[in-house]
Structure 1
Amino acid sequence: MPVKERVDPSEPVDAREYLAAQPPPHRIDGALERIQALVAESGRHVAVVDDDPTGSQTVHGVPLLTTWGREDLEWALDQPSGTFFVLTNSRSLGPDEAAQLNRDIAERLADIGKPVAVTSRSDSTMRGYFPLETDVLRAGLGVEVDGVVLCPCFIEPGRLTAGDVQWVRQGEQLVPSAQTEFARDRSFGYAHSNLALWVEEKTKGAVPASEVASITLADLREGGPDRVAALLSEMTGARPLVVNATEYSDLECFVLGLLAAEAAGKRFIYRTGPSFVRVRGGISESPPLTPEVLYATRPRQGHGLVVVGSHVDMTTRQLEAARALERVHAIELSVPRLLDDDGRAGELDSVVEEAGRALGGEEVLVYTSRELAPADAGRSALDVGRSVSAALVEVVRRVAAEHPLGFVVAKGGITSSDVGTRGLGVRRAEIAGQMLPGIIPVWRLPEGSDHAGMPYVVFPGNVGDEGTLAQVIEILRGDG
């Protein structure tokens, strides 16, 4: 596979002009139906090991696990869906913990022995434990792979890959991902938008950019699946492979070629954003959920509870719009007091008491104060995040134990995982669909759980516009 010059842009480009300059899209009639048939023929489930609970933003009718014992994995493999999610929330953990849980999952899947393709689902803005997680998964599965597929695109909000560069759509521009706030993440920051250079950066030079292969838009749109399969047939030795894609037809073309290569004996592990998962699983597009569907299995009971932990700039703007809604009672949870051993319990008691009173007549919005608590010698950024998330979990757990809830929304990756697993006690759930096209997944909690049938909305910190959180609240309470 030829190596090309690596360009790492530092300036935004006009989205319309840049995309129009690419080769014309190659749309294949019946592509998804062909993928569905090939997936069924292969007999291989797609196990999505998700480092953050927001990765199910493009799928529906898919089982989800928040625990990964052998019995849980066997249950997921026995479900009608050929795809299932294992929510690890490893992005909130230290590297040793992240490595161990990925190892446990891979070894248990290998021990069960059913054929499976593993997707290490991560962030479309390139945050997370790479290459640690794909390395550990490969070792745990005990299978030699020919390539590590890097396909981070997330089509719906405009996280696109072109020219081997990860772009983030902001208004009418495409911004190189390394020039966004996401690249300044205190735990997973990075300097390069070109994914070959990003691999070199993240592997600390162990894999030079010159060794990173690429499926270009020209390969997909001019060569089609046959060109993809031919290029994949050349892959060996777990070589990283960047997949460019700016729309779903690119992913369909790539997956058709990928499935052909796998049928011929090639093996890959995937590190991807949300959009790849839907296409690789052969999952059809589904319209946004309406209140009629959301409350089909259980009529709405009581008012809703919304908790916000994310601190990205977009979340703060969305929070302001949501606070301006009528019949929404907003309560600030003070981060400095939470981090003060003497003040934490009193702050939590006060917030829980106020939330309980307000739920009698309106929706309640609990949000963490917006200042970023500094990390110090004895407390890392991840430690601060975990402490704040634990406080939000306690709020949800205590409020849910005393008051009927119509719905729960948790905003932010760490927040939504911890609220679901520890606040609401979710072990297994169904991904019912999305609140808005391609973003903001909803879990339907199963029979036998404490909140059976209640919609739980997993709202990423980095999607939507200023009005999206307010819009979700209005839909959930029947106003939208």
Structure 2
Amino acid sequence: MSPTLDELLAGRPAGPAVDVDRLAARVRASGRVLLVLDDDPTGTQSVADLPVLLDWSPASLAWAFDQDRPAVYVMTNSRSLAPSDAAARNREVARTALAVAAGRGVELCFVSRSDSTLRGHFPLETDVLAAAVREATGEPLDGVLLVPAFGDAGRVTVGGVHWAGADGVYAPVGETEFARDATFGYRASDLRAWVAEKSAGRIAAAAVGVLDLTVLRTDPAAVVAALTGLRDGAVLACDAVEENDLRLLAEAVLEVQRHGVRLVVRAGPPFPRALVGQRPHPPLEPAELAAVRAGGPAQDAVGGLVVVGSHVALTTRQLDRLLERRHPVRLELDVATVQGAGVSGAALAAHVADLAGQASAALGVGDVVVSTSRRLAVVDGADAALALAREVSSALVAVVRQVLTVRPPRFVVAKGGITSSDVAARGLGITRAMVRGPVLPGIVSLWEPVDGPARGIPYVVFAGNVGGDESLADVVAALADRAERGPSGAPTLTT
């Protein structure tokens, strides 16, 4: 079954347009701050002008709250962690944030931001946040909102079923390559069944509510009633297709929170934007990119560095198009060498040093791509797959760290969730940054590091599972400040 979006929405009414300025004013009046625990850095692709932390010390959280923004992002990178470690990290972030916020008189609302294709630690992470809220307030959580839709990337929820679109047609997400993920795989596309599957039956499908798209668009009182009726952390899966749907839901959330309803949100990238009343930020202009570089080590740099760790088929196609269109120097990290590091750590160190040396030299002339070898490694089980992913990411980080000390690049693009988190925190030494906005419409976030050796180097986090085949080449073209047209003569900004 591969319907078009029009076919999925047949007979569904349009909803009333939300006044975004009014929504933003209500957010400001509430005084509440969203604390977005992001399980990889790509969740910032839908927002702009917000602080992002890779360190959740009291000092860093205080700095972020002092920026007087309606949301703060904390990069937990928990999608790269084993379940016990992911739980511990979420717990530490939540407890520290609640303590710092209380000292500043700030009320928090927790958002557990994860993958719009349903990969990640659920319900573990929302369970941990619910426990933290109860511990801090003495009151139980009322409900968990499940809002994975990401219309810009082709992920929509209709009738409780989550869909992934490509080339104008949609497939139930449980039938896509994302559902075959080695670590976070699943079968269900109906979110009720998906919650039951991911909770190993602890939460029955029948106990999961669905906020239907027609109700969302036509009956605000019923939406408020559905949220108000949540008890004891019950899960409510929410339909959404477009930005206005998310804004309608955000209005209802603000209303019930005003009356004391306690919610934790599990969402894809764009719902936090609606919850703070932001409009989609247009793609950053060359002058805005130049402003990030001004006065920093990247101001006069020639070449940019692209680091590709993601192995999904879309990323490989994007990499191929980047190589064909822009002809950067391409260097490859051999995953087999990483797997054999336990036998010969010296061989891996030599391989990393060789790649870093070649990359540093080539950056003086033009752009450089350092990618993992594209052939998937054979591993036994989800834990082994996750462990290998961490080892490969560590090797990429070592390359970036060595390059940075020799020749700071004009920009850094990291492709893939684990890759982008590790490159930021360990390769570039970023602990605090500001999200400046997207490089492509609705997707691909650019950060301005405000501390560490990468201050002044534009850093782009690019999820492995978003964009079209041309998108990676489009991003590099935009960052290089050199206009490029596609075969049709139109700008090739594909989403």
TM bin (shorter chain): over 0.9
Alpha-carbon displacement from aligned partner over 1:197-234 (angstroms, at most 9, x marks no partner):
000111111111111111111111121x3221122121
Cα distance in 2 for partners of 1:301, 1:91 equals 36
Q: SS state of the match for residue 383, structure 1? A: helix
Task: Give secondary structure in 2 for the equivalent of 1:295.
Answer: helix
Decide which moves more: 271-280 or 36-45.
36-45
User: Which stretch of structure 1 is more off in the superposition, 346-355 or 187-196?
Assistant: 346-355
Q: Secondary structure of the residue that 2:293 maps to in structure 1? A: coil
Contact 1:16 1:172 in 2 (8 A): no
Q: What is the deviation of 1:37?
A: 1.9
- Residue 385 (structure 1) aligns with: 389
Shift of 1:379: 6.9
Structure 2 stretches lacking a partner, 5+ long: 484-495
Return the offset for 1:394. Answer: 0.5
Q: 1:274 maps to which residue?
A: 269
Q: Say yes or no: does 1:117 pair with 2:106.
A: no
Structure 2 Cα separation of the partners of residues 154 and 23 of structure 1? 19
Moved more, 402-411 or 291-300: 291-300
Q: Distance in 2 between matches of 1:72 and 1:146?
A: 30
Distance 1:356 1:206 in 2: 52
Measured in 2, the distance between the counterparts of 1:439 and 1:228 equals: 29
Instruction: State the distance in 1 between where 2:356 and 2:325 align.
Output: 21
What is residue 464 of structure 1 aligned with on the other side? 467
Q: 1:217 maps to what in 2?
A: 213
Indicate the SS of the match to 2:340.
coil
Alpha-carbon distance in structure 1 between the residues aligned to 2:195 and 2:147: 13
Deviations 1:55-85 (A, max 9, x none): 0111000000001112222221221211110
Kindly state the Cα deviation for residue 387 of structure 1 after the two structures are TM-superposed: 0.5
Contact 1:227 1:257 in 2 (8 A): no
- Tell me, in whole angstroms, the C-alpha distance in 2 between the residues paired with 1:158 and 1:377: 29
Look up the match of 1:257.
Answer: 252
Shift of 1:406: 0.6
Please identify runs of 4+ aligned residues in structure 1 that moved more than 3 A. 376-379
Out of 175, 180, 189, which is 1:179 matched to?
175
Which TM-score applies when normalising by structure 1? 0.94
CA distance in 2, matches of 1:301, 1:415: 26
- Take 1:89 and 1:189, find their aligned partners in 2: how far apart are those partners? 18
1:92 matched to which residue of 2?
80
Q: Deviations over 1:14-52 (max 9, x none)?
A: 222222x1422112351x222212212221100000001
- Match of residue 5, structure 2, among 1, 15, 20: 15
1:42 matches 2:41 = no
Does the 8 Å contact 2:430/2:454 carry over to 1?
no
Q: How does 1:222-301 map to 2 (within 5 A)?
A: 222-223=218-219, 225-299=220-294, 300-301=299-300
> Does the alignment pair 1:454 with 2:453?
no
Q: What CA deviation, in whole Å up to 9, does each residue of 1:86-133 have, x standing for no partner?
A: 000000001111000101111122323231000000010000000100
CA contact (8 A) 2:18 2:244 kept: no
Where 2:152 maps in the other structure, the secondary structure is coil
Residue aligning to 2:157: 161
Residue 436 of structure 1 is matched in structure 2 by 440
Mapped contact 1:327–1:362 kept (Cα < 8 A): no
RMSD of equivalent CA atoms: 1.4
- Does the 8 Å CA contact 2:157/2:238 hold for their aligned counterparts? yes
Contact kept? 2:8, 2:158, Cα under 8 Å: no
Match for residue 318 of structure 2?
A: 318
* 1:336-366, Cα deviation, whole Å (9 max, x unpaired): 0122222312211221121122112111111
2:398: which partner in 1? 394
Query: What is aligned with 1:7?
Result: none
Question: Deviations for 1:229-267, whole angstroms, at most 9, x for unmatched residues?
Answer: 122121111110011001111111111111111111211
Q: Counterpart amino acid of 1:18?
A: L
One-letter identity of the residue aligned with 2:369: L
Alignment of 1:171-210 (within 5 A): 171-210=167-206
Aligned length: 466
**SS across alignment from 1:189:** coil
Partners of 1:368 and 1:473 lie apart in 2 by 18
Paired with 2:37 and 2:401, the residues of 1 have a C-alpha distance of 26
The residue type paired with residue 24 of structure 1 is P
Aligned to 2:493: none
Question: What CA distance in whole angstroms lies between the structure 2 residues aligned with 1:240 and 1:169?
Answer: 25
Residue of structure 2 in register with 1:352 after alignment: 356
Residue 130 (structure 1) aligns with: 122
- Report the Cα distance in structure 2 between the residues aligned to 1:379 and 1:65, rounded to whole angstroms: 27
- Kept in 1: contact 2:151–2:242 (CA 8 A): yes
Q: Which one of the candidate residues 77, 88, 91 is aligned to 1:103?
A: 91
Tell me the CA shift for residue 275 of structure 1: 1.2
3-state DSSP of counterpart to 1:426: coil
Which residue number in structure 2 is paired with residue 5 of structure 1? none
Note if contact 1:196-1:242 (Cα within 8 Å) is conserved in structure 2. yes
Separation of aligned partners in 2, 1:464 and 1:219? 30
Task: Please list the CA deviations of residues 381-429 of structure 1 after superposition, one character each: whole Å capped at 9, or x if unmatched.
Answer: 0110001000100010000110131100110000000000000000000
Out of 30, 49, 59, the residue aligned to residue 71 of structure 1 is 59
Give the secondary structure class of the aligned counterpart of 1:13.
coil
Does 2:53 align with 1:58? no
What is the CA-CA distance between 1:137 and the residue it aligns to? 1.0
Deviation at 1:325, TM superposition (A): 3.1
| Residue number in structure 1 paired with 2:491 | none
- Alpha-carbon distance in 2 for matches of 1:136, 1:326: 45
Distance 1:18 1:327 in 2: 40
Overall identity of the aligned pairs, in %: 42
- Distance (Å, rounded) in 1 between the aligned partners of 2:222 and 2:319: 46
| Aligned-partner Cα distance in 2 for 1:269–1:18 | 28
C-alpha spacing 1:29/1:270, structure 2 compared with 1 (3 Å): closer
SS in 2 for 1:153: coil
What residue is the counterpart of 1:151 in the other structure? 147
- Which residue does the alignment assign to 2:486? none
Say yes or no: does 1:338 pair with 2:338: yes
Structure 1 gaps, min length 5: 1-10
**Whole-Å Cα distance in 2 between the matches of residues 320 and 29 of structure 1?**
41
Which amino acid is 2:447 matched to? W
